[in-house]
Amino acid sequence: MDALPPLNVNRYRDTRCAELRADHVGRVVRLAGWIAAKRDHGGLLFVDLRDPTGVVAGGLVQLVAHPDQPAFAVLDGLRLESVVSVTGRVVARPAETVNPKLATGEVEVAVEAAEVLSSADILPFPVERDSEVGEENRLRYRYLDLRRGPLADRISRRAQLASLVRAHLSGRGFLEVQTPILTASSPEGARDFLVPSSQYPGEFYALPQAPQQFKQLLMVGGIERYFQIAPCFRDEASRADRSPGEFYQIDLEMAFATQDDVFDEVELLMTAITTGMSSKVTGAPFPRLTFAEAVDRFGSDKPDLRFGLELADLTADLGGRTELPMFAGAPESGHVIRALRVPGAAERSRKWFDGFADEAKKVGVIGTWLQLDPAGTKGPLARRLTEEEVGQVVGAVGGEPGDAVLVAVGPRLKASTLLGDHRRRNGRELGLADPNHLAFVWVVDFPMFEQDEVTGAWDFAHNPFSMPQGGLEALRDLDPGSVLAYQYDLVCNGVELSSGAVRNHRPDIMEAAFAIAGYGPERIRSSFPALWNAFHYGPPPHAGIAPGFDRILMVLEDQANIREVIAFPLNQSARDLLMGAPSPVTEAQLRDVHLKVVPPAP
């Protein structure tokens, strides 16, 4: 058994439930905990007692109360999850009643005295590890959900992860610095959470979306290696891998550092985390894919590399070389022809194939398919392509009898992303990804700018403060669509764990980059005055990253939803069902901060 933390011996208890074994027989012990179950067997009352250690480890001990003991009436009158302190003698269970499923299954405690510490009302749901409970009730009664065990296990692992991260990074020379929670509103990124000031009418603080500016200012200030397990606040929608409202990230920044320096440190950190917390297979150095490669081969900039099913590019083979108009005209219109093999999907329903075509239409792509039925190839393409052309399609994806081939024709990013969604979905449904493998990959060389399809104007594709590859010369001499940034993502099992970048620390390069996006120098000065001013007083080159703390744990614990690794999360609608937030406040509170609620327009 793992060593238990030190026990504070007091009037409630002198022993933990999970500690009791056969060699304790004869000892008088005092225990405290929750009544997990009760059974009346012919006058004898059996009670399962669970203490806080049992919440995490699943350990409990059986109590037995005899009718001639005062404790019998006390325990008999209590509901489940009431809290008691009991004193009794450890006795061996009869051989036929030994429970091998319990660590304490060879013994029980004959209760001599019982004290009620608190009584429980009727429970809103059963508090057992394997009981099925809806998420709304789990969030509304989160304290009961914690008692069920699995969530408490993950919260314990969360604390372990935090300790491991701090020990590793401190050992690597990183200095932990806490940055402000009340700061200035930023015009970039997601929507801010604003905090009105009572001292300054009409003025607001903002909760930080990330410590980005502060950590860069630390670099200017001479803090060479910084880290923080940082709380971040963004007023944005929920996703399975994103907690609405707030989340935590392992924030890192390094002065006099290149992209490769960041990769080296993060690979050491991730190796320390995975070896310290799991037996899952991984390994450094992590492979690297350019953004273009990731999209072309996997249809995603966060590919799951635990399985194949790579996209095939048929543009050169069929574009302009077939009589089928949607293929023949693809090269001239700048479109691509991409294909994906779906194993064993030839016999899927017509509704499934039509659904793919409908999805394609919604995103501005043509979607069609082949069904490689053993009795003969079927589907729209089978009727419109020659036998040789069908062979080219099948050969490009490695199709086999019984498979289906989904084909998308359209703009490169849209066609690839459509098939990438199906690749990920089918990989999950077919169980192709090894759950015991952590497939880390760096995605690099993101485009610096993207062009609006309607106006033709250029804007930043990602972080506007990243250093462009090629520096000032690239911004002056290259088409904006060709400029790449020193931006990178760390992806694991199809989940984006982190984004980072080499920072643009030179005001002249910053002005040139913002000019391409249509902003003058005054935009930087007014929106980011501290950073702009600091960069005129000798900033060192610096780079950083911020792996998502919650997401790392979600991947390690193989959880599909990030709420399963957070003690008190908001629900999908960004509401706190436990505390009832957000909620109205009084008129007096509004007057204190000089605010008035304006109802939304009908």
Token pair for residue 152? 């408490």
pLDDT of residue 1: 46
CATH 3.30.930.10 range(s) for the chain read 154-288+440-587
Topology (CATH level 3) of domain 307-429 = Gyrase A; domain 2 (3.30.1360)
pLDDT at 284: 86
Amino acid at 290: T
As annotated, the residues of the chain forming the CATH 3.30.1360.30 domain(s) are 307-429
Query: What does pTM read for this prediction?
Result: 0.91
Residues 547, 141: Cα–Cα separation, whole Å = 30
Whether CATH 2.40.50.140 fits 17-118: yes
Model confidence at 114, pLDDT cuts 50, 70, 90, reads very high
Residue 258 has pLDDT above 50, yes or no: yes
Segments of the chain assigned to CATH 2.40.50.140:
17-118
CATH topology of domain 154-288+440-587: BirA Bifunctional Protein; domain 2 (3.30.930)
Quote the pLDDT of residue 55: 74
Q: So what's the pLDDT on residue 6?
A: 78
Strands 175-176 and 107-118: unpaired
Q: What is the DSSP letter of 86?
A: E
Q: How confident is the prediction for the chain on average, in pLDDT?
A: 93
Residue 28 near residue 13 (C-beta atoms within 8 A): no
Percent of the chain past pLDDT 90, that is, above it, reads: 81
77-109: pLDDT as tens digits = 999 999 999 999 999 999 999 999 899 999 999
Catalogue the E-assigned strands of 202-324: 204-206, 225-234, 245-255, 288-290, 312-313
> pLDDT digit string (tens) for 384-415?
888 999 999 999 999 999 999 999 999 999 99
Predicted pLDDT of residue 188: 64
Q: What is the mean pLDDT of residues 498-522?
A: 94
pLDDT beyond 80 at 238: no
Whether the predicted pLDDT of 456 surpasses 50? yes
Helix or strand (DSSP H, E) at 522:
helix 521-527
Q: Which tens digits make up the pLDDT trace of 356-384?
A: 999 999 999 999 999 999 888 999 999 88
Residue range 540-548: mean pLDDT, rounded: 98
pLDDT recorded at residue 331: 83
Q: What are 173-199's pLDDT values in tens digits?
A: 999 999 999 999 987 678 899 999 999
The crossing angle, in degrees rounded to 10, of helices 259-277 and 549-556 is 40
**Higher pLDDT among residues 526 and 224, named by residue:** 224
